[in-house]
Amino acid sequence: MRALALLLCLAACAPVSRDLRVGSKRFTESRVLGELGVIVARGTGATVAPRTEFGGTMLAWNALRTGAIDLYPDYTGTIINEILAGESIESAEELTEALAQHGIRSTAPLGFNNTYAIGLREERAHELGIERVSDLAQHPDLKLGFSNEFMDRADGWPGLRETYGLPQSDVRGLDHDVAYRALESGALDAIDLYSTDAEIDYYALRVLEDDRAYFPRYDAVFLYRAELATTAPTLVRELDRLAGKISEDAMVAMNARAKLELVPAATVASEFAASQLDLHVLTTERTLAERLWLRTKEHLTLVLISLFAAIVIAIPLGILAARRERLGQVVLAITGILQTVPSLALLVVMIPLLKLLGAPSTYLIGSAPAILALFLYGLLPIVRNTHQGLKDIPGDLRDAAEALGLSARAKLWRIELPLASTSILAGIKTSAVINIGTATLGALIGAGGYGQAILTGITLDDTALILEGALPAALLALIVEYGVRSKTRDYS
Amino acid sequence: MTTASTEGSAGELRHAIEFTRTTVRFGATTAVNGIELSVPAGRTTALIGPSGCGKTTLLRLAVGLQRADLGDVRVLGRRIESNSLAELRHSIGYVVQEGGLFPHLSCEKNVSIVAEFLGWDSERIRARMSELCALVQLPEDLIARAPSKLSGGQRQRVGLMRALFLDPELLLLDEPLAALDPMVRAELQDDLKQIFARLEKSVLLVTHDLAEAGYLGDELVLMRAGQVVQRGSLRELFEEPTDPFVTSFVSAQRGARDVLAEAAQ
Ligand SMILES: Nc1ncnc2c1ncn2[C@@H]1O[C@H](COP(=O)(O)OP(=O)(O)O)[C@@H](O)[C@H]1O
Ligand SMILES: [Mg+2]
């Protein structure tokens, strides 16, 4: 027992030299800042893994806290009001201390404040005579739309409504990028903005004055793991050198470049690094073929590993289910319930589950939780079809096989499984097709694949990029569905 | 009919199968109802009776595919026990009602599957295969084919080869010729008669055709509703019926009288 504990400690404490991991959230600005972090880290000579993207603040924070990533950009207001919401932080010192409790440090502010704001189309605001947030109280019929995170956050809509006594009841949550389009089309009257969003100018929006000073400051900072101070002191020094270097105008310009001109985030960040920080790091643009190949490899890895694991586990489960009717019903029910869990929820739940199972921190994000979720998803069709295929063996063949006097194992391998194989293969095919589609969501937790292009494409409102992910995913599913002939033998 | 009468030294087994007050129920249906029946060794017994009277269930009892709810079943002098079941089954050749050939295996593999499992070398398997092809009169070049590529009659011959491969003491055939057209059927009946005469095995043959039973069986057993109504020769069924059911059953099957007439000549 003690030896085991020692072994575990050794394994955990052993210095593992590994690539530095930089994270970001999924929206444009965070992606650009993340790429800047990558460039700075490369500048110190470190080897850096490709940036991982997270679908929400808590996902990114947990990845940092558990050591799955080493640093990512965030905002002071978000840290205080969302991440450390329970701790009522009043000053910069208290913030530093609270972060230290989690083994995390923050750089000094990078120079710009990206606060939340409420915006209307200039034209509409003029027509209604709205200039300040408090003016909204006079217009209870306005249709409001807020990003999903803003809807729930302590520093979001609930607090705003209370502070200003806002009466609107038509309030819906939606994706931030979709919100701009809804506002432009007139489907919404007012939405939440980030004050550095490039769209504010582009769509000619009026930013309402926060006349009761509800929104706190959202100074951009990099959060990083405290041990970097000893393992990568130059990196920490370089990150600190970014303090005050990015003005609000510079950030708005970078956002515009990335979002409106569709320049890749890495290019935008490297242009800024070269001109403002005198930091020249080569970012090589990938060609379309290279991007497709990379994502195909990532996507196939997710699908094939999870499918293989599902086959290895599900076929024996299906055999068991066919042998013991009672137990079989239980197995089928459990795998059935797994399939009804919304795929996104299942993906996100895998992270704490893996942690609970004691997985090393590097496996908490990226492909491991995605593969685990896809594996669970893939079980049902295979278990069900194995069970059904064995049950459907005609009675006379079953009798003939049994009466031969083979061992149970020989009977299974030489007669029963081959007879059930058409059904089992159909189950495997179903699993594969489902997983090819579901794996696109893996990009939300940093697993890459075709979903990466789709998500980034949605963020940038870049249809070509969305198609770059969606078309190969659909094509792959079609190839499996129609190309892989399930060998339906004609036994007649 | 005491069980002691079947035992004694191995060579003098008198009864291949003995059912003693055996009952099998499926829910409310009683398929076999306290049956008393001994199947003599070394001869062919033909089991006849209307559809649903329990013929298949009796065969399934004999190979341990079906447990008796009441009573006793002894096969080749032994009680059916799970730990020696495989061994017992190697001494029985069973051809199920629809033939039971596995569609995913070639005829050859169907026939040799148990021998392969038991580790026979390929030389021995090939020799046995030719021997059996000759016995059942199946051209040897056909056995490499899939079962679906043979005619119904040929498939029955392959099924018989599989049942005979390990040279079992007891052969159980469930309506082997039922699905064949009359010409093929007559030809196979002749071949079966020869094979049975040559092998001198214990054979229990199920058929619902009285003429076939009379032609192939040394003795006939007529069943009704899970019980034996009468056993004896075809002549005895015609001339000394013990029950009105026997009379109505035999008179419903016209061809049978011709067999009787033929046999009389
Ligand atoms: N597995 C089963 N489940 C329920 N009923 C059965 C089953 N097998 C046979 N029976 C019933 O038992 C009776 C005897 O069947 P069977 O032995 O197949 O008759 P036969 O072979 O003489 O036509 C029939 O009434 C049949 O419906
Ligand atoms: Mg039957």
Q: What confidence tens digit (pLDDT) does each residue in A310-325 have? A: 999 999 999 999 999 8
Distance (Å) from CA B54 to ligand 1 centroid: 6
Pocket test for ligand 1, best of B19, B24, B29, B94 (most atoms within 8 A of CB): B29
Instruction: Give residue A3's pLDDT.
Output: 42
Residues A412-426 have a mean pLDDT of: 94
In this structure, which residue's CA is closest to atom 2 in ligand 1? Answer: B26
Do both A365 and A406 map to the same domain? yes
What percentage of residues in chain A have a pLDDT greater than 90?
A: 46
Question: In this complex, do B103 and A419 lie within 8 Å of one another by their Cβ atoms?
Answer: yes
Instruction: Give residue A89's pLDDT.
Output: 85
Q: In angstroms, rounded to a whole number, what is the distance separating the alpha carbons of residues A75 and A115?
A: 9
pLDDT band at residue B264, thresholds of 50, 70 and 90? low
Do both A190 and A67 map to the same domain? no
Whether the CB of A405 is below 8 Å from some CB of chain B: the reply is yes
User: CB-based contacts of A247: which residues, under 8 Å, 6+ apart?
Assistant: A111, A112
Residue A4 predicted with pLDDT over 80: no
Do both A160 and A237 map to the same domain? no
Judge whether A422 lies within some domain. Answer: yes
Q: In angstroms, rounded to a whole number, what is the distance separating the alpha carbons of residues A437 and A219?
A: 38
Which sign does the torsion angle of CA A403, A406, A408, A412 carry?
negative
Least confident of A305-319, A443-457, B183-197: A443-457
Residue B153 predicted with pLDDT over 80: yes
- The conformation of residue B13, written as its DSSP 8-state character, comes to -
Do both A303 and A424 map to the same domain? yes
**Nearest CB partner across the interface for B63, out of A403, A414, A419:** A403
Do both A68 and A107 map to the same domain? yes
Do both A226 and A369 map to the same domain? no
Judge whether A12 lies within some domain. Answer: no
Structure tokens at A433: 């097709």
Judge whether A93 lies within some domain. Answer: yes
Do both A200 and A240 map to the same domain? no
Residue B203 predicted with pLDDT over 70: yes
Judge whether A213 lies within some domain. Answer: no
Instruction: Give residue B6's pLDDT.
Output: 43
Instruction: Give residue A228's pLDDT.
Output: 92
* Number of Cβ pairs < 8 A linking chain A and chain B: 62
Half-sphere exposure in the Cβ direction for B124 (13 Å, CA): 8
Closest CA relative to residue A419, chosen from A442, A435, A452, A396:
A396
What tens digit of pLDDT does each residue of B15-42 get? 899 999 999 999 999 999 999 999 999 9
Residue A15 predicted with pLDDT over 50: no
Tell me the residues of chain A between 339 and 398 that have a Cβ less than 8 Å away from chain B.
Answer: 394, 396-397
3-state secondary structure of B172: strand
Do both A253 and A122 map to the same domain? no
What tens digit of pLDDT does each residue of A22-34 get? 999 988 899 999 9
Instruction: Give residue A22's pLDDT.
Output: 92
Instruction: Give residue A281's pLDDT.
Output: 72
Do both A171 and A142 map to the same domain? yes
Which sign does the torsion angle of CA A88, A90, A96, A97 carry?
negative
Its pTM stands at: 0.71
Residues B181-193 have a mean pLDDT of: 86
Question: In this complex, do B117 and A407 lie within 8 Å of one another by their Cβ atoms?
Answer: yes
Q: Please give the residue that has the higher pLDDT: either B181 or A109.
A: A109
Instruction: Indicate whether this complex's ipTM tops 0.95.
Output: no
3-state secondary structure of A24: strand
State the CATH number of the domain containing residue A179. 3.40.190.120
What tens digit of pLDDT does each residue of B76-130 get? 988 887 778 899 999 999 999 888 999 999 999 999 999 999 999 999 999 999 9
**Nearest CB partner across the interface for B86, out of A400, A405, A490:** A405
Task: Give residue A146's domain range.
Answer: 116-207
What percentage of residues in chain A have a pLDDT greater than 70?
A: 92
Q: Please give the residue that has the higher pLDDT: either A355 or A425.
A: A425
Residue A491 predicted with pLDDT over 60: no
Instruction: Give residue A125's pLDDT.
Output: 92
Do both A419 and A472 map to the same domain? yes
Nearest residue in B to A394, CA atom: B100
**Nearest CB partner across the interface for B100, out of A400, A489, A492:** A400
Q: In angstroms, rounded to a whole number, what is the distance separating the alpha carbons of residues B76 and A63?
A: 71
pLDDT band at residue B265, thresholds of 50, 70 and 90? low
pLDDT band at residue B262, thresholds of 50, 70 and 90? confident
Nearest residue in B to A421, CA atom: B104
A360-365 long-range Cβ contacts below 8 angstroms, 24+ apart: A360/A12, A361/A66, A361/A67, A361/A68, A362/A18, A362/A67, A362/A68, A363/A68, A364/A62, A364/A63, A364/A66, A364/A68, A365/A52, A365/A54, A365/A59, A365/A63, A365/A68, A365/A69, A365/A445, A365/A446
Q: At residue A145, what are phi and psi to the nearest 5 degrees?
A: -135, 125
What are the percentages of helix, strand and coil residues in chain A, rounded to 5? Answer: 60, 10, 30
Q: In angstroms, rounded to a whole number, what is the distance separating the alpha carbons of residues A477 and A443?
A: 18
Instruction: Give residue B84's pLDDT.
Output: 84
Instruction: Give residue A86's pLDDT.
Output: 82
Q: Is A94 exposed, middle or buried (0-12, 13-18, 19+ CB in 10 A)?
A: middle
How does the average pLDDT of chain A come out, rounded? 86
Number of structural domains chain A divides into: 3
Residue B136 predicted with pLDDT over 50: yes
Instruction: Give residue B112's pLDDT.
Output: 95
Closest CA relative to residue B215, chosen from B191, B231, B198, B199:
B191
Residue A50 predicted with pLDDT over 80: no
Do both A325 and A244 map to the same domain? no
What are the percentages of helix, strand and coil residues in chain B, rounded to 5? Answer: 45, 25, 30
Do both A342 and A430 map to the same domain? yes
Least confident of A109-113, A213-217, A420-424, A441-445: A441-445
Judge whether A367 lies within some domain. Answer: yes
